């Protein structure tokens, strides 16, 4: 049977109705960390997706970049998310919670007087606040991911995703330029990948089902002042993906390099499919990063990816799967102050 972008996709006892997925997008829809009516409406409109990947959801009150980013560490937040997940299910889609901690790139005014934390006490780069402290015991954060996964299950999510991409906390430990630790969390590939692997294990324990856990990786670096040399990237991510495959998780989401995410040009535009696809045998493979519908359909038909993840076009086109499957024109993205790729 030939597989197309319109075909259902099965994993972990779930059936995705198509292979066009909604990307995690920070929306700041509510003047609070509790999701409300605007979040419900936003996700309801996009329940056309085979799977919705929620906006980044904070695992603790600290570790955030945005005043109104939602969390999943209080009963009120769990109740708020339950209304979102119920709505998505009534509308016939599925939703995973993206578990998020931004580590050293937290906004200092949102830290309640606490220091920003990262793998090491360093200051560098365009966005990193002037000072951040080295995390004393990374295990504390693994526990936060485990508890957040438990809470996500109670809130009715179909699964959880560890956000280990885009220079946030798990990425900060993977990156040699950000992670200068000399304990078991720094140095070798084995040590730098430990945090992401343990976070995934924590999520598996919290959700009680490995196939309902995914991880998001952006091996090209760039965003948030991270970026190792190509040989280091290939080594680090080959080790990480090989180890994660052993955990039998549902999917690995790979983000490819795109200019909007790399104003510092620290990234390396390596092709994650070429380098890492061959290592993935059990998990489903999702690809994210300025895909066009045509390209996504081709990659699915070739078996290179299992599903394609779309961000900005899904904001302007809540019926994006239908448009891609039927090859219909897309409504323009309202670029506003957003970065606009050349030629768009």
Residues at the contact surface with ligand PHB, assessed by CB under 6 A: 26, 56, 65, 165-166
CB of 68 to ligand PHB, least distance (A): 11
Strand partners, 321: none
Report the C-alpha gap between 174 and 191 in whole angstroms: 9
CB of 167 to ligand PHB, least distance (A): 8
DSSP symbol at 103: G
234 Cα distance to chain centroid: 20
Point out the catalytic residue in the list 43, 141, 145, 168. 168
Measured from the CB atom, is 144 or 300 closer to ligand PHB? 144
CB proximity list for 246: less than 8 A, separation 6 or greater: none
Q: How many residues does the chain have?
A: 344
> Is 168 among the catalytic positions?
yes
Measured from the CB atom, is 56 or 186 closer to ligand PHB? 56
Structure tokens at 20: 């066009």
Measured from the CB atom, is 127 or 191 closer to ligand PHB? 127
Structure tokens at 138: 């990374």
Measured from the CB atom, is 71 or 323 closer to ligand PHB? 71
CB of 166 to ligand PHB, least distance (A): 4
Measured from the CB atom, is 99 or 165 closer to ligand PHB? 165
Using alpha carbons, select from 71, 231, 103, 235 the residue that is nearest to residue 167. Answer: 103
CA dihedral in degrees (264, 59, 119, 65; nearest 10)? 30
CB of 15 to ligand PHB, least distance (A): 27
Contacts 24+ apart (CB under 8 A), 314-319: 314/22, 314/23, 314/25, 314/46, 314/49, 315/25, 318/45, 318/46, 318/48, 319/48
CB of 233 to ligand PHB, least distance (A): 18
Using alpha carbons, select from 338, 315, 165 the residue that is nearest to residue 263. Answer: 338
Which residues are catalytic, by number?
Answer: 168
């Amino acid at each position: 049977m030939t597989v197309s972008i319109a075909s259902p996709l099965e994993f972990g006892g779930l059936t995705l109705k198509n292979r066009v997925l909604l990307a995690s997008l920070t929306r700041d829809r509510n003047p609070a960390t509790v999701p409300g009516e605007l979040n419900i409406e936003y996700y309801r409109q996009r329940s056309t997706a085979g799977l919705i990947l929620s906006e980044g959801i904070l695992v603790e009150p600290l570790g955030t970049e945005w005043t109104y980013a939602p969390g999943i560490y209080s009963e009120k937040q769990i109740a708020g998310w339950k209304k979102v997940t119920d709505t998505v299910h009534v509308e016939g889609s599925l939703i995973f919670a993206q578990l998020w901690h931004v580590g050293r790139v937290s906004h200092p005014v949102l830290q309640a007087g606490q220091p920003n934390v990262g793998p090491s006490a360093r200051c560098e780069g365009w966005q990193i606040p002037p000072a951040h402290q080295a995390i004393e015991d990374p295990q504390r954060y693994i526990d936060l991911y485990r508890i957040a996964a438990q809470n996500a299950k109670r809130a009715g999510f179909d699964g959880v995703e560890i956000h280990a991409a885009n220079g946030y906390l798990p990425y900060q430990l993977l990156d040699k330029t950000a992670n200068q630790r000399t304990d078991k969390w720094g140095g070798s590939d084995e040590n730098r990948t430990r945090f992401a692997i343990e976070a995934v294990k924590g999520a598996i324990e919290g959700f009680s089902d490995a196939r309902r856990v995914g991880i998001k990786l952006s091996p090209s670096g760039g965003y948030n002042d991270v970026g190792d040399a190509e040989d280091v990237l290939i080594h680090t991510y080959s080790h990480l993906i090989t180890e994660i495959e052993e955990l039998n998780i549902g999917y690995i989401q790979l983000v490819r390099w795109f200019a909007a995410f790399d104003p510092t040009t620290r990234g390396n535009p390596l092709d994650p499919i070429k380098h890492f696809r061959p290592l993935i045998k059990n998990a489903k493979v999702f690809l994210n990063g300025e895909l066009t519908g045509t390209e996504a359909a081709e990659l699915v038909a070739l078996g290179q990816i299992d599903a394609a993840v779309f961000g900005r076009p899904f904001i302007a086109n809540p019926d994006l799967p239908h448009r891609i499957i039927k090859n219909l024109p897309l409504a323009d993205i309202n670029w506003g102050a957003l970065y606009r790729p050349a030629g768009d």
